[in-house]
Amino acid sequence: MRMKDMVRRTGVHERLLRYYEQQGLLAPERLPSGYREYSEADVETVRRIRCLLTAGLSTTTIAQVLPCIRADGERLAPACPSLVGQLQGERQRISTEIEALRASRAMLDTVLAAAPRFADTVNFPEPLDDARS
């Protein structure tokens, strides 16, 4: 499929798809015209990329990981032991972040429980059109 369909399938902007490719995360075929030709596997790859980026992994790390799970997506290819250590580190970092998020949620829960129905009694100003970031 070409760029337009790939954007539709993944929900990822055209420019970002090119960026992923630039970072070595994607390698779509090229038509004689120079147009990119994406495969179904590429759609899945983008899904993984988004997942890992959200989790805070760098594009360089992801570029190392992707080729190792490209086969069935279930396990690490008989590749690099250095990668295992790296990924265990990432996993640990994610666990720490999860705990921080839990604490944040708990804090908000506490505050919200102590201030019921505030939104019903307080008039918040309408956001200005040019005040959005």
Partner DNA sequence: GTTCTTACA
Partner DNA sequence: TGTAAGGA
Select the span of 28-36, 46-54, 62-70, 116-124 touching DNA (CB under 7 A): 28-36
CA 30 – CA 109 distance, rounded (Å): 51
Select the span of 27-35, 66-74, 79-87, 106-114 touching DNA (CB under 7 A): 27-35
For residue 24, give both structure tokens: 């070595």
Considering CB under 7 A, how many residues would be counted as binding DNA? 12
Which of 16, 23, 70 lies closest to 45 in space, CA to CA?
Answer: 70
Binding mask 80-119 for DNA (x = CB under 7 A): ----------------------------------------
Instruction: Tell me how far, at minimum, the Cβ of 22 lies from DNA, in Å.
Output: 9
Helix (H) or strand (E) holding 65: helix 59-69
Does position 36 interact with DNA (CB under 7 A)? The reply is yes
| 56 in Cβ contact with 93 (< 8 Å) | yes
Selected from 10, 11, 12, 15, the binder of DNA by CB under 7 A is: 15
CA 65 – CA 120 distance, rounded (Å): 49
Instruction: Tell me how far, at minimum, the Cβ of 27 lies from DNA, in Å.
Output: 12
Sign for the CA dihedral angle at 88, 89, 91, 92 comes to positive
Residues that bind DNA (CB under 7 A): 2-5, 14-16, 18, 33-36
